[in-house]
């Protein structure tokens, strides 16, 4: 069943992840992509003026940067009972993974939740013990989970494990300066760690 997505962004702030969703996803339809301006006052007293009167969809992806607009969108989504995934500090009523590859497998989010989030690999090795094929069953909406595969093919398991986190960090679109005060990690390091862990798990069950 097709999951209908509503996108909110500012000056193309979500374009790269939208491209990843289009390229690597299936059974998904972006029914509306609202790209709001960035030249805005620091404080927006009436944020509802920037939004449509009604929204119809199964899931909202929030890439808004302005805090007043982002907060209002969460309120609007809750009022309309549409799940919302948003970046930044967690707010009541939203789903807010640390990175796009940090979203757990969520069947309640339809095709999006079943495909995008914490990476999951299946690895095949040839007779020489080198990686010959890697398949993705769950991955980052930015596409890094799929894009890093080219760096793993032909490597031994040890060689692949040595490079996967580094290569994912090169591909990651998160802000490396945004450290989580609890873990002490940046989103980029977190993404690398998740992909390393996924590859370890897949290699332990390799074909």
Strands (E), the chain: 3-10, 28-36, 59-62, 84-86, 120-125, 131-138
Tens-digit pLDDT profile for residues 129-149? 999 999 999 999 999 999 999
Tens-digit pLDDT profile for residues 22-33? 999 999 999 999
What counts of helices (H) and strands (E) characterise the chain? Answer: 7, 6
CATH topology of domain 3-96: Rossmann fold (3.40.50)
Listed in order, the ranges of the chain carrying CATH 3.90.1010.10 are 120-204
CATH 3.40.1160.10 corresponds to the domain 120-204: no
Listed in order, the ranges of the chain carrying CATH 3.40.50.2300 are 3-96
More confident residue, 187 or 5: 5
Average pLDDT of the chain to the nearest whole number: 92
- pLDDT of amino acid 55: 94
Q: Which two tokens stand for residue 109?
A: 């989010």
Q: Is the dihedral of CA 164, 19, 64, 96 positive or negative?
A: negative
Are 105 and 123 spatial neighbours (Cβ–Cβ below 8 Å)? no
């Amino acid at each position: 069943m097709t999951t209908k997505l509503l996108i909110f962004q500012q000056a193309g702030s979500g374009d790269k992840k939208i491209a990843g969703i289009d390229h690597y996803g299936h059974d998904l339809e972006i029914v509306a992509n609202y790209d709001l301006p960035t030249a805005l006052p620091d404080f927006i007293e009436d944020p509802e003026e920037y939004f449509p009167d009604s929204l119809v969809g199964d899931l909202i992806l929030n890439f808004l940067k302005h805090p007043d607009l982002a907060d209002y969108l969460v309120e609007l989504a809750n009022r309309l009972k549409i799940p919302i995934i948003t970046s930044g500090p967690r707010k009541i009523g939203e789903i807010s993974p640390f990175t796009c590859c940090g979203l757990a497998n969520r069947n309640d989010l339809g095709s999006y939740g079943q495909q995008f989030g914490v990476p999951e690999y299946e690895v095949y090795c040839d007779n020489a013990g080198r990686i010959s094929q890697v398949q993705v069953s769950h991955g980052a909406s930015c596409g890094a989970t799929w894009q890093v595969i080219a760096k793993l093919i032909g490597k031994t398991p040890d060689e692949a494990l040595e490079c996967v986190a580094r290569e994912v960090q090169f591909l990651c679109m998160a802000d490396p300066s945004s450290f989580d005060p609890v873990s002490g990690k940046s989103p980029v390091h977190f993404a690398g760690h998740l992909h390393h862990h996924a590859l370890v798990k897949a290699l332990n069950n390799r074909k």
